[in-house]
Structure 1
Amino acid sequence: MLSLVGHSSPSSSTEAETLKKPKPPFEEPTRPNHVFSHIPPTRTTLLLFLILLQFLLILYIIHSPQTNHSPPIPSPIHVAADSDCHARRIYVYDLPTIFNHVFKERCDELDPWTNKCDAFLNDGLGASAADDVAGIVPEEVLPAWYWTDHYWGEVIFHNRMLNYKCRTMEPESATAFYIPFYVGLSVGKLLWGNYSAKERDWSSLMMMNWVQDQKWWKRSNGSDHIIMLGRLTWDFRRLINSDNDWGTSLLHMPAMRNIIRICVERNPWDHLEIAVPYPTVFHPRTAADTLSWQNFIRNRNRTSLFTFVGGARRTIQNDFRGLLLNQCLNDSGGTCHHVDCARSGCVNGTTKIMEAFLSSDFCLQPRGDGYTRRSVFDCMLSGSIPVFFWTRTAYEQYEWFMPSDPSSYSVFIDRREVRNGTSIRKVLESYSRGRIKRMREKVMENIPNFVYANPGRHGLGTAAATVRDAFDITVDGIMNKYKDHMQRGGRGRRRRRLQNEG
């Protein structure tokens, strides 16, 4: 396995000899040293004490962390108190670079259509968008905007884990173990074109072999391990080894049976999967950034009733997006704003999309490649109220991050009603200005829950208050599950002990 990452060992006697300790440049004297013979005994004792003291001081300096010249190991920016991290310490595996960092070096090979090198800038947030959004967003929050790739969650989570307040460098003290494998990036290109099922599975198989060899895996068989999947869960659920079947078989590999999976769209029937928000283009540095943005969108003048960002998929029979597009374009009252993604790419956001959402009360959110789409979060980030047509687009995905009452922040119109002729405009016009204002406040209130703070900082917490972002909510949720599981296990062991004693 080590040969995969370029490690090698000496293979000849010549190489072995070079590793031997070099001989001293001179021989030790064979005759006794009589230096101390001319010094009185009391002074000799004092001199020996001073020499011993200097020797201990040198040992301390050599072993002090401040003078250790070995390669630095990333450590948490903020070290939390032991009471804050009780039963929630996470150890981040130092995987061979073939499973993560190598993709930054080969960034121009990750996508069959575009170069992804800029996506790695700024710890995975992408290139700065400050110049592009100047004049659209308040000046004080310009540094918080980046052109973030919606499938770059693996990189963002990895960098945040390296700075997690309860990260531990000692695996024996860890409650959970994070596997920083960029599996979505490794297969992104392989999902398209003439790649065999074996080729698509190769990196996942190699990673699982490596992890299963670790001592800490064997302790729990992976039940305390976590991995982030930056793409939809369906990209990792190939059932058969057919070259014509979609995706990889990662989630059907036996070793994945117990691992907690974080992904942007989960399988609702898999209790080990947790859906997290897609990364948006806003990455606040502090809670003050979030507050400034909330105040800005609260006072926006919105000139459109609703917006539809997307294009028709004419190759799909009875395409639902086509129905939405027709309702928008045929709106004689001019209440619908359309951004045509067929003419301009909408994958990672554009200023046109942001301006459209900022100017609209509602935004239409049909399903994307899966049931979810990044546009849901771009929409709410702008203070626009999402309109859903499938419950699985948000309600059955992001329970940890959204209000418990869907009607408090969103509108649901069953897609079958739209196909039967229901007018979206008439449904939305039935909402009073007062109710729209209350719904917008609920959307804005939850913005911190679905944005990712800058990875170089410890979330959005301040000395006065703790403001959790999407990463904090995810990790807290997972660790609370572990805590509950451990407590239930402890109670069960006590019950069994009492029964045996009785």
Structure 2
Amino acid sequence: MLPVSDPPPFSKPKSADILDRKHSVFTSLKPYLSFHHNRRAWFFLSVLLLQLLLLLSAPSLPFSLSAATAPTPHSSAALPNITYSSRAAGEQASAEGILNNPKTEEKCPYGEVYVYELPPLFNTEIVKNCDNLNPWSSRCDALSNSGFGKAATGISRIVPEKVRGAWFWTDQFSLEVIYHNRMLNYRCRTLEPESAAAFYIPFYTGLAVERFLFTRNSTTEERDRHCNLMLNWVSDQPFFKKSYGWDHFITVGRISWDFRRSKDGDWGSSCIYMPKMRNITRLLIEKNPWDYFDVGVPYPTGFHPGSVADVTLWQDFVRSRERHTLFCFAGATRGFIKNDFRGILLSQCYSEPGSCRVVDCGGSKCANGSSSILETFLHSDFCLQPRGDSFTRRSIFDCMVAGSIPVFFWHRTAYLQYQWFLPGEPESYSVFIDRHEVQNGTSIKSVLDKISKEKVKSMRAKVIEYIPKLIYANSDQGLEGIDDAFDVAVEGVLRRIKEQEGGYKWK
């Protein structure tokens, strides 16, 4: 089994000091409150009450309550060239105001998020150096346009004209930039850390390590450097110290296994295994299913609607599509893997040309999606989704956004990954065929042929229903009345933190 983070021990939160003081004062006065006490005690109590009345009748107090405010997190540098939420700091409610404001509770039932202002080294400078993030090619186009990338071209004959502007060539590893931009404009963002229920760390974890993952002879120090520096910075913040980081979260645009290096000679960074990271919730495109602090979120697809109308129009379009192919597969073989399962799928597809459609993605022909992939998914009832280089792949979400029904061969490809975003009943939207049965000769076509048209229609309806939860909207404020993948993820983090209030905390 792959290694997992050791769960930190529980510690019960301490009672507030003010409660202890109130108890001690009451205890000290208790003897004097007896009706059977002597006259001297009553005289003492009368003098005490008289002094209290004189104090309350004074025109002003000799001190200001505002001087007793809590410390706020400090910042080495503000993020340059980023527009913050339109809500001014003066308009932010105090912690007490938030608790007593029904409108805030209705809009943000699980509380608000404070966004740290990290030094540019951890985010904006990384994007500025986009030409040097990858040893093979520039990443500047992929990270442009708030992480959505260039507008999609060559799809005019595939998608309705009214939603062409919602399609982009989005890179599957651009999650950190997308989330950071949305978080700065999030409806439940607060500029007052004292009133926050959760704290977002806008560190571009995956982008920071990308160059060192693929550079020959990179050192473990290079692969760990940014994460170490970030954790040293954030752990010095007062609200991190207060909770040991338990109410903090971060986005990671690569798979969990890229950050679980247990030995110096192994692949990747050891970021997740660093002690200061252990309590921070991590939103990743692929999680470790046995680590509580890993949360799987959808890979970015190419569809980024700017309005509810875009979503509705697209759902109607994929619902009414005439699909002439039973199933399809978009991918490439892994020739270096013995008994490559993808090779078996391609072989079955090529042997059923009237039922299966293939998009061979050998090389980099399918990087960031392509018009041929989208068209293939739109034409097919089912799409085959084996594991990728890891257990998950972006193609799952490309397939479902096109209204095609996914066929899985590993439970960890989706069922153990994206519970917040997919229906709770796997059979309602997908088909599972054990890979061992396929390897032993089971025909995929024969399995899919046995599914009735009524069942196919029902499954497609469920897939289409969940499309909003699988995409990231091209709107700073999100979509009015619809939760996209960003909304689901952040609210999920807030909800989980809220459910732990007053209970045991990680330490």
The answer, yes or no, to whether TM exceeds 0.5 is yes
- Which of 423, 430, 434 is residue 450 of structure 2 equivalent to? 430
Alpha-carbon offset, residue 72 of structure 1: 8.3
- Which of 407, 415, 419 is residue 387 of structure 1 equivalent to? 407
Paired position in structure 2 for 1:446: 466
Paired position in structure 2 for 1:262: 283
Larger deviation, residues 338-347 vs 481-490: 481-490
In the alignment, the residues of structure 2 paired with residue 481 and residue 76 of structure 1 have an alpha-carbon distance, to the nearest angstrom, of 27
In the alignment, the residues of structure 1 paired with residue 221 and residue 177 of structure 2 have an alpha-carbon distance, to the nearest angstrom, of 25
Paired position in structure 2 for 1:317: 338
Q: Counterpart amino acid of 2:113? A: I
Contact 1:76 1:162 (8 Å CA) reproduced:
no
Paired position in structure 2 for 1:345: 365
In the alignment, the residues of structure 1 paired with residue 160 and residue 444 of structure 2 have an alpha-carbon distance, to the nearest angstrom, of 32
Which whole-Å deviations, capped at 9, do the CAs of 1:463-496 have from their partners, x for residues lacking one?
xxx2100011111111111111005469xxxxxx
Q: Secondary structure at the match of 2:144?
A: helix
1:108–1:379 CA distance, 2 compared to 1 (3 A): same
1:468–1:201 CA distance, 2 compared to 1 (3 A): same
Alpha-carbon offset, residue 82 of structure 1: 2.1
Paired position in structure 2 for 1:30: none
Contact 1:366 1:390 (8 Å CA) reproduced:
yes
Paired position in structure 2 for 1:201: 224
In the alignment, the residues of structure 1 paired with residue 125 and residue 221 of structure 2 have an alpha-carbon distance, to the nearest angstrom, of 20
Q: How does 1:37-436 map to 2 (within 5 A)?
A: 74-76=84-86, 81-83=103-105, 84-85=107-108, 87-129=110-152, 131-192=153-214, 193-242=216-265, 245-331=266-352, 334-342=354-362, 344-436=364-456
Contact 2:260 2:272 (8 Å CA) reproduced:
yes
Q: Secondary structure at the match of 1:147?
A: coil
In the alignment, the residues of structure 1 paired with residue 316 and residue 164 of structure 2 have an alpha-carbon distance, to the nearest angstrom, of 15
Which whole-Å deviations, capped at 9, do the CAs of 1:351-408 have from their partners, x for residues lacking one?
0000010110100000011110000000011111000000000000111111111011
- Which of 469, 478, 481 is residue 484 of structure 2 equivalent to? 469
Alpha-carbon offset, residue 101 of structure 1: 0.3
Q: Secondary structure at the match of 2:269?
A: coil
In the alignment, the residues of structure 2 paired with residue 393 and residue 183 of structure 1 have an alpha-carbon distance, to the nearest angstrom, of 23
Which whole-Å deviations, capped at 9, do the CAs of 1:76-134 have from their partners, x for residues lacking one?
579994223355111111111111001221111111222110122221111111x3221
Q: Secondary structure at the match of 1:284?
A: coil
Alpha-carbon offset, residue 347 of structure 1: 2.6
Which whole-Å deviations, capped at 9, do the CAs of 1:238-276 have from their partners, x for residues lacking one?
00122xx10000000000111111101100100111100
5+ residue gaps, structure 1, are: 1-69, 491-502
1:72–1:276 CA distance, 2 compared to 1 (3 A): closer
Alpha-carbon offset, residue 167 of structure 1: 0.6
1:240–1:96 CA distance, 2 compared to 1 (3 A): same
1:87–1:307 CA distance, 2 compared to 1 (3 A): closer
Alpha-carbon offset, residue 223 of structure 1: 0.8
Q: Secondary structure at the match of 1:427?
A: helix
1:76–1:422 CA distance, 2 compared to 1 (3 A): farther
In the alignment, the residues of structure 1 paired with residue 322 and residue 233 of structure 2 have an alpha-carbon distance, to the nearest angstrom, of 55
Alpha-carbon offset, residue 437 of structure 1: 0.9
1:148–1:77 CA distance, 2 compared to 1 (3 A): farther
Alpha-carbon offset, residue 71 of structure 1: 9.0
Q: Secondary structure at the match of 2:490?
A: helix
In the alignment, the residues of structure 1 paired with residue 223 and residue 110 of structure 2 have an alpha-carbon distance, to the nearest angstrom, of 37
TM-score normalised according to structure 2 size: 0.79
TM-score normalised according to structure 1 size: 0.79
Paired position in structure 2 for 1:61: none
Paired position in structure 2 for 1:485: 500
1:205–1:423 CA distance, 2 compared to 1 (3 A): same
Contact 1:154 1:229 (8 Å CA) reproduced:
yes
In the alignment, the residues of structure 2 paired with residue 162 and residue 72 of structure 1 have an alpha-carbon distance, to the nearest angstrom, of 9
1:71–1:295 CA distance, 2 compared to 1 (3 A): closer
In the alignment, the residues of structure 1 paired with residue 82 and residue 339 of structure 2 have an alpha-carbon distance, to the nearest angstrom, of 57
Q: Counterpart amino acid of 2:277? A: M
Q: Secondary structure at the match of 1:228?
A: strand
Larger deviation, residues 95-104 vs 107-116: 107-116
Contact 1:127 1:146 (8 Å CA) reproduced:
yes
In the alignment, the residues of structure 1 paired with residue 82 and residue 140 of structure 2 have an alpha-carbon distance, to the nearest angstrom, of 25
Larger deviation, residues 298-307 vs 246-255: 298-307
Contact 1:275 1:398 (8 Å CA) reproduced:
yes
Q: How does 1:5-24 map to 2 (within 5 A)?
A: none
Alpha-carbon offset, residue 166 of structure 1: 1.2
Q: Secondary structure at the match of 1:306?
A: strand
Which has the bigger relative contact order, CA under 8 A and spacing at least 6?
Answer: 2
Alpha-carbon offset, residue 148 of structure 1: 0.7
In the alignment, the residues of structure 2 paired with residue 384 and residue 87 of structure 1 have an alpha-carbon distance, to the nearest angstrom, of 34
Which whole-Å deviations, capped at 9, do the CAs of 1:211-256 have from their partners, x for residues lacking one?
11112211111111101111000000000122xx100000000001
Q: Secondary structure at the match of 2:213?
A: coil
1:458–1:404 CA distance, 2 compared to 1 (3 A): same
Q: Secondary structure at the match of 2:286?
A: coil
5+ residue gaps, structure 2, are: 1-79, 93-101
- Would you identify which runs of 4 or more consecutive aligned residues in structure 1 move more than 3 Å? 70-73, 76-81, 487-490
In the alignment, the residues of structure 1 paired with residue 399 and residue 110 of structure 2 have an alpha-carbon distance, to the nearest angstrom, of 37
Q: CA RMSD in A?
A: 1.9
Q: Secondary structure at the match of 1:486?
A: coil
Contact 2:252 2:283 (8 Å CA) reproduced:
yes
In the alignment, the residues of structure 2 paired with residue 146 and residue 383 of structure 1 have an alpha-carbon distance, to the nearest angstrom, of 18
In the alignment, the residues of structure 1 paired with residue 306 and residue 504 of structure 2 have an alpha-carbon distance, to the nearest angstrom, of 39
Greater Rg over alpha carbons, structure: 1
Alpha-carbon offset, residue 172 of structure 1: 1.5
Q: Counterpart amino acid of 1:369? A: D
